[in-house]
Homo-oligomer: A and B are copies of this chain.
Amino acid sequence: MNSKTVPNTATGQKASSAHRSYEEELREAGIRITKPRKVILKILTQASDHPDAMEIFRRAVKVDASIALATVYRTMKMLEDLGAVHRHSFEGGPARFENADAEHHDHLIDLDTGDVIEFHSERIEQLQQQIADELGYDIEHHRLELYGRKRKK
């Protein structure tokens, strides 16, 4: 019993702000705006954390009890394909999602609470780039996750 589970209820920090609304994006892509989608998109717009599919489903059911989990999964995949959300597979838990229009950042996951803290280091990005260069590779994307606990001083 050494597997740590990462709880996935975070109390987020920044709210997602100035972006083209999800509905707008769907409309542009010629995708129908249905009732279940409206509910899910609103939840995503309001979310300040990194919810997983089940959590989105729980929030959605409160608004419309007839929504199916499968629809949540289908909608998230559709949004991911559109490039509107990012999917993160952190250790020891289901995939978690976040709006894609924030600037690129990496994540620090609080092992005790599941909270996700975003950070960015231009220097690290450069070093990654340099390493890939030296190895003769073009980076398509990368994943940098720190797993830790609050320092008790």
Contacts and interface: CB of A to CB of B under 8 A. Distances in A.
B8 A143 contact: no
Contacts of A136: 150-151
A131 B143 contact: no
Interface stretch (A22-30, A41-49, A115-123): A115-123
A84 interface: no
A13 to B, nearest CB: 11
A81 to B, nearest CB: 6
A127 B119 CA distance: 12
Contacts of A81: 2
Contact of A146 (B108, B142, B150): B142
A137 B132 contact: no
B91 A131 contact: no
Interface in A78-93: 80-81, 89, 91
Given A132-B108, A138-B151, A91 B91 contact: no
A148 to B, nearest CB: 4
A143 B140 contact: no
A144 B144 contact: yes
Contacts of A8: 131, 134
Nearest to A145: B143
13 contacts: A8-B131, A9-B131, A119-B131, A119-B135, A124-B127, A127-B127, A131-B146, A132-B146, A137-B146, A137-B149, A142-B145, A142-B146, A144-B144
